[in-house]
């Protein structure tokens, strides 16, 4: 129905030539914008409602006690259901450290959180298909678990340079979640509207850029400058993405347009994950919390993981 509406609006109401580049771009823009807006409102509402049953204080206690990687898995899943970018995840990362949650588990959260959330999942499903969306979400969670385990085994706690007062995690105590079903629905509705208000403009911009690429950028542009047939394309895309800062929700429509123009999916996803999960602003903020040694190890470990995920998706 959405595609039919987009076709009617572009080709009948606005009377664009169906074979023109501008018609292709506008059709792409109308269809994807409406689809993504609708899915975000629904999915964020459902996830927010589920979150009303989770006590942050109990989560903290559970994560601190779990062993054999279960804590890392729990932290990664928690990161996957919280809609934070790399920079907005840092205050929670600090809260985890302040609450005496093991360093590796805290890293599992901050790795997964900017890469996977309900918004990104909806965007991936709506653009690449739900199979790819599920595989991407699992890959992001897996990266958080494995990288968190590796960092946790390296005994790097002394590299945390930010000093905390002994407050035993009061900041994670449950003070805001509603008790009644009516309150939970109201909370979920408010969260969905609030999230939508925060994202609608960046999604609009992202889809607009993607629409422009979809309609106007020739295939050989990316084939020439990203060396898509080279084995080094994935690590190069990862390195190029690190200095840039943007959220996955903004990048998914652009990445979809890039893949439509011939860029392998894994290379494009590595570029996106590097931008979202290893940004320069994140590094600047983390430098106030952890030492340069730990920051370098963190970026290196996650960077290698992103490259491996890129190669994996290129084989799919």
Confidence of residue 300 (pLDDT cuts 50, 70, 90): very high
> What are the tens digits of pLDDT across the range 25-59?
888 788 878 877 887 788 778 767 876 776 655 65
Q: Is 221 part of any domain?
A: yes
Q: Is 195 part of any domain?
A: yes
Q: Is 174 part of any domain?
A: no
Domain boundaries, position 38: 2-157+180-315
Can you give the pTM of this predicted structure?
0.66
Q: Is 167 part of any domain?
A: no
Q: Is 120 part of any domain?
A: yes
Confidence of residue 170 (pLDDT cuts 50, 70, 90): very low
Q: What is the 3-state secondary structure (H, E, C) of the chain?
A: CHHHHHHHHHHHHCCCCCCCHHHHHHHHHHHHHHHHHHHHHHHHHHHHHHHCCCCHHHHHHHHHHCCCCHHHHHHHHHHHCCCCCHHHHHHHHHHHHHCCCCHHHHHHHHHHCCCCCHHHHHHHHHHHCHHHHHHHHHHHHHHHHHHHHHHHCCCCHHHECCCCCCCCCHHHCCCCCCCCHHHHHHHHHHHHHHHHHHHHHHHHHHHHHHHHHHHHCCHHHHHHHCCCCCCCHHHHHHHHHCCCCCCHHHHHHHHHHHHHCCCCHHHHHHHHHHHHHCCHHHHHHHCCCECHHHHHHHHHHHHHHHHHHHHHHHHC
In the chain, how many domains are there?
1
> What are the tens digits of pLDDT across the range 258-296?
787 778 888 888 888 888 788 776 777 788 788 899 999
**Of the given ranges (4-8, 46-50, 124-128), which has the lowest mean pLDDT?**
46-50
> What are the tens digits of pLDDT across the range 178-219?
778 888 898 888 878 887 886 678 677 767 876 776 666 655
């Amino acid at each position: 129905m959405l595609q039919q509406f987009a076709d009617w609006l572009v080709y009948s109401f606005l009377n664009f030539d169906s074979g023109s580049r501008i018609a292709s771009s506008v059709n792409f823009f109308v269809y994807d914008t409406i689809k993504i807006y609708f899915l975000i409102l629904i999915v964020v509402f459902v996830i927010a409602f589920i979150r009303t049953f989770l006590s942050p204080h109990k989560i903290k206690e559970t994560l601190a006690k779990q062993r054999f990687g279960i804590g890392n898995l729990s932290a990664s899943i928690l990161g996957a259901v919280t809609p934070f970018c790399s920079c907005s995840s840092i205050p929670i990362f600090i809260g985890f450290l302040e609450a005496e949650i093991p360093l590796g588990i805290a890293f599992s959260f901050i790795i997964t959180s900017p890469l996977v959330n309900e918004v990104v999942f909806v965007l991936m499903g709506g653009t690449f298909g739900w199979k790819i969306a599920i595989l991407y979400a699992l890959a992001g969670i897996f990266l958080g678990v494995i990288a968190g385990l590796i960092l946790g085994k390296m005994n790097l706690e002394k590299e945390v340079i930010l000093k905390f007062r002994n407050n035993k995690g009061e900041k994670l105590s449950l003070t805001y979640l509603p008790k009644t079903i009516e309150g939970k629905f109201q909370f979920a509705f408010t969260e969905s509207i609030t999230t939508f208000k925060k994202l609608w403009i960046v999604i609009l911009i992202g889809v607009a850029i993607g629409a422009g690429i979809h309609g106007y950028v020739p295939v050989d542009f990316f084939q020439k400058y990203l060396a898509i047939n080279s084995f080094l394309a994935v690590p190069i895309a990862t390195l190029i993405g690190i200095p840039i800062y943007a959220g996955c929700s903004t990048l998914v429509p652009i990445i979809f347009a890039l893949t439509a123009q011939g860029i392998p999916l894994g290379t494009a996803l590595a570029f996106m994950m590097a931008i979202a999960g290893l940004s320069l602003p994140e590094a600047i903020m983390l430098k106030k919390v952890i030492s340069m040694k730990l920051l370098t190890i963190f970026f290196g470990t996650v960077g290698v993981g992103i490259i491996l995920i890129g190669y994996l998706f290129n084989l799919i």
